[in-house]
Chains A and B, each alone.
Chain A
Amino acid sequence: MKTMREERKNGMRRWALLVMLLLSFLATGAIAAQAEPELATAERLRLGQRMYQEGILPSGEPMQAYVNGDVPVQGTSFTCVSCHLHSGIGSFEANIAASPVNGRILFQPRKPYIKGFEYVPAYHKYASHFPERPAYTDDTLAELITAGIDPTGRSVVKVMPRYDINDDDIAILIDYLKSLSDQLSPGVSDTEIKFATVIAGEVPEASVEAMITPLQFHISRKNSLALAYKNHPRMARMAYNMIGPEIAGKTFTLSRWLLKGAPDTWRAQLEEYYRAEPVFALLGGITDGDWEPVHRFCEDNRIPDLFPIVDYPVISSSDWYTLYFSRGIRQEGEAGARYLHSMYELFAGQPLVQITRDSRRGHALADGFHESWGNTGHPAVIDIILKEGEPLTPEQLQQIISEHKPAVLVIWDDEALLAAMDGLTVSKDSPKFILASGTYMGEGLWKIPEQLRDMLFVTYPYRLPQDEVRFDPTIKSVLQGKPLDTTDPRIIRQACIIGEVLDDALVKMRGEFYRDYFFDTIGMMADASFPLYERLSFGHGQRYASKGCYIVQLGKGVKPQLERLSEWVTH
């Protein structure tokens, strides 16, 4: 280590020399040169971020490290962000705590308590996980990164990788850590946190109200607490103990950002709203069209959007700043393919025909089906596209069956498919399975004729209605007297979930109101059952919380219920 320290000192000398040269160059007054240090800083931060998030050295080579004593790992498979997360505030999971690594905390002494929160049990418990230490310096921090030694001389836990990085690269990484979560995000002040929700396009007023009512309920309830915290000592003491002063005393605001006109103008409207009122995060949001402009705006400005209510979310494995309820309607296509895969032995080698209405819904379902089916390695499906506006007729359907003799027929169409199926008779050429989408069929799901109910398998991405009623009292309390059936019940439930997850996340953030930590925190939440969804699951980088879908059939009788044919998740 002595050699490393000497090398580091030499490195420091090199930097000092560089800084002196730079200063003397700037002193010449060359205007063009004034831009270079800023560019260099930006570049250093970019390189530092790449080390932190991707485990790639400035040279382009992967960082090398050891964990658990003798286990060599490459930084690309074991990145800093894996444990310390995007915000650098760290993680708690599986009884292992990864400490904060943002400069603001690293370069302060650590006590077994958080100043100002000494008597908040949850905060105290959190702080007690980390031993006391003096503030890091650049040198001691470098020692930690390379040798796992903290400023007290203790060796930190073995699961913290020891990185084999040279001094110059360590300096770049430390510069990045200093910039990480160093100032509270926009939209947060000592007294309030600002939120907005986006209403994009011509959304029916009832749908907007179904979203706004529960959101506003949560905002108002929080603001009542903030008022009580200020004016009522007993409530203040309870709030202090239970959720901490940082969140208890703050009020929330919720603005409505209405986007009008063509979608290609929405970005400019969003920028204008944001310029006028920088918000901490977007809550929900709703559209009758494409969410992509809002998604992209959030991505580019690093603004979290919690659960927009959309049928067609942007599908990405790397985008970060929008957390969706699910992959939208295409998820039903994916689930349908997985379900059929699970019983492939029953029709192996026989044709599978997919009939798709030439509509956005139809194509989303078909795309999802294709993607999942393609991953199975089974023979390709036979695709037939139905023109929009031309209903599928019984004759057409019979002709398709006679021509292709499919063992499986997938029909992505609205309830008009029922009329086409009405004349189907059971014969040796009949498909073994006919699959449709519950969402696309809409109310048609409940109109399936008795004779077709055994034949038609339907994707259904929510808890079954007969099981959902147990959440009605909770929902009614949010509506505060408004009748449950006058607005869209699904949107109401989704908006209630937004409020619950928001509350939970903000408490767990312990006053660290950084946008990145908002989603980091949600990523550490336990999977849970909510209204509408049997299970929402979270995780680092997971951006589609509901992965589930049932395959159902409509039961017998005049008041039929949906009957489950599959588990919530099918593989």
Chain B
Amino acid sequence: MTNFLGPLTFLLLFTAGLFCPGQSAAEAKYQRSEVSISVPDVVLINQDNEKIPLRSLLQTEESVVIDFVYASCTTICPILSAGYANLQGKLGPENHNILLVSITIDPENDTPAVMKKHLERYQARPGWIFLTGSRADINTVMAAFDAYFPNKMSHQPLNFIRTTEKGKWIRINGMIGGNDLLNEIKKARMQ
């Protein structure tokens, strides 16, 4: 057996990170829940390389919707971003009552230039911003929203809609259609 210790070590190392494909790709209905969130007092960077105090940003009179995405994602982030683009399209150019905030979970790669390109790709209009920051600050934000994923490859499709009640948010887990998202935003305005 000693002779095979080398290959055995190889085998163990070789498979140390063996992939776990995750859940079935079966059709997913979104899950809705009400959650309390204390927005952390961190300063993030937007697509124009401007410093954005997150807490101040979210203390707007507008409705606020947040998702966690990254620019090079190959699965759910393009769909989440397409959803925001579609929402802006439904609202029309005059509607400035909804602030869409995408926060990267890949701050190493998502520099302001990368984020700007991502927004351009989805023909984002004013009212949709993309934020990055230090890894520590991004982790803090993800943890505050109970959306912390140590591995960006295993993140989930999450949207958070701020309600009128202080600190209360609607957490949407799953792929939500355009009409459903708009309805959820309208409902959150009533809460």
Contacts and interface: CB of A to CB of B under 8 A. Distances in A.
Nearest to A524: B153
A164 B120 CA distance: 23
Dominant secondary structure of chain B at its interface with chain A: loop
A568 B135 contact: yes
Interface stretch (B8-16, B33-41, B56-64): B8-16
Contact of A542 (B11, B19, B109): B109
Given A221-B9, A537-B108, A92 B177 contact: no
Interface string B150-190: 01111111000000000000000001111100000000000
Contact of B134 (A540, A541, A542, A569): A569
A316 to B, nearest CB: 14
B22 A547 contact: no
B93 interface: no
A266 interface: no
Interface in A57-85: 67-74, 76-78, 82-83, 85
Interface string A497-509: 0001001100110
B103 to A, nearest CB: 13
A301 interface: no
Nearest to A69: B177
Contact of B83 (A68, A83, A525, A528): A68
Contact of B108 (A67, A74, A535): A535
Interface residues of A, number: 72
Task: Indicate the member of A159, A227, A507 with the most B CB atoms within 10 Å.
Answer: A159
A224 B7 contact: yes
B124 to A, nearest CB: 10
B75 interface: yes
Nearest to B70: A539
A161 to B, nearest CB: 9
A503 B7 CA distance: 13
A222 B9 CA distance: 10
A94 B74 CA distance: 9
A486 B170 CA distance: 59
Contacts of B98: none
A132 to B, nearest CB: 13
A83 B13 contact: no
Contact of A571 (B133, B153, B175): B133
Interface stretch (A23-31, A236-244, A291-299, A446-454): A236-244
A238 B1 CA distance: 13
Contacts of A126: 19, 21
B91 to A, nearest CB: 14
B94 interface: no
A544 to B, nearest CB: 9
Interface in A183-217: none
A526 B20 CA distance: 12
Interface in B88-147: 89, 106-109, 111-113, 121-123, 132-136
A129 interface: yes
B11 A92 contact: no
Contacts of B123: 74, 77
Contact of A91 (B49, B74, B86, B177): B74
Contact of B18 (A224, A507, A569): A507
A300 interface: no
Given A95-B22, A570-B134, A71 B86 contact: yes
Given A72-B86, A83-B74, A571 B45 contact: yes
A235 B9 CA distance: 12
Nearest to A159: B79
A97 B7 contact: no
A556 B113 CA distance: 38
A91 B75 contact: yes
A375 interface: yes
B6 to A, nearest CB: 5
Nearest to A96: B75
Given A94-B154, A232-B4, A239-B11, A158 B78 contact: no
Nearest to B120: A77
Given A92-B22, A158-B27, A500-B13, A71 B178 contact: yes
B82 A67 contact: yes
A91 B26 CA distance: 15
A571 B138 CA distance: 12
Given A122-B18, A507-B14, A526-B151, A96 B76 contact: yes
A242 B23 contact: no
Contacts of B45: 571
A376 B49 contact: yes
B2 interface: no
Contacts of A526: 17, 151-154
Complex A-B, nearest 9 residue pairs according to Cβ-Cβ distance, in ascending order: A539-B72, A225-B7, A547-B108, A95-B22, A526-B151, A93-B75, A96-B75, A95-B23, A221-B10
28 contacts: A68-B177, A70-B178, A71-B79, A71-B178, A73-B82, A74-B123, A77-B85, A83-B74, A91-B74, A92-B21, A93-B154, A94-B22, A94-B154, A95-B22, A95-B154, A96-B76, A159-B79, A224-B4, A225-B10, A235-B4, A523-B74, A537-B106, A537-B152, A539-B70, A539-B106, A541-B72, A569-B134, A570-B134
Interface of B: 4, 6-11, 13-27, 45, 48-49, 70, 72-76, 78-79, 81-83, 85-86, 89, 106-109, 111-113, 121-123, 132-136, 151-157, 175-179
Interface of A: 67-74, 76-78, 82-83, 85, 91-99, 122, 125-126, 128-130, 157-159, 221-222, 224-225, 227-228, 232, 235, 238-239, 242-243, 341, 375-377, 500, 503-504, 507-508, 523-528, 535, 537, 539-542, 547-548, 567-571
Given A70-B178, A239-B7, 16 more contacts: A71-B83, A71-B177, A92-B21, A96-B76, A157-B25, A158-B177, A159-B75, A242-B14, A243-B11, A243-B14, A507-B18, A537-B106, A539-B152, A541-B72, A569-B134, A571-B132
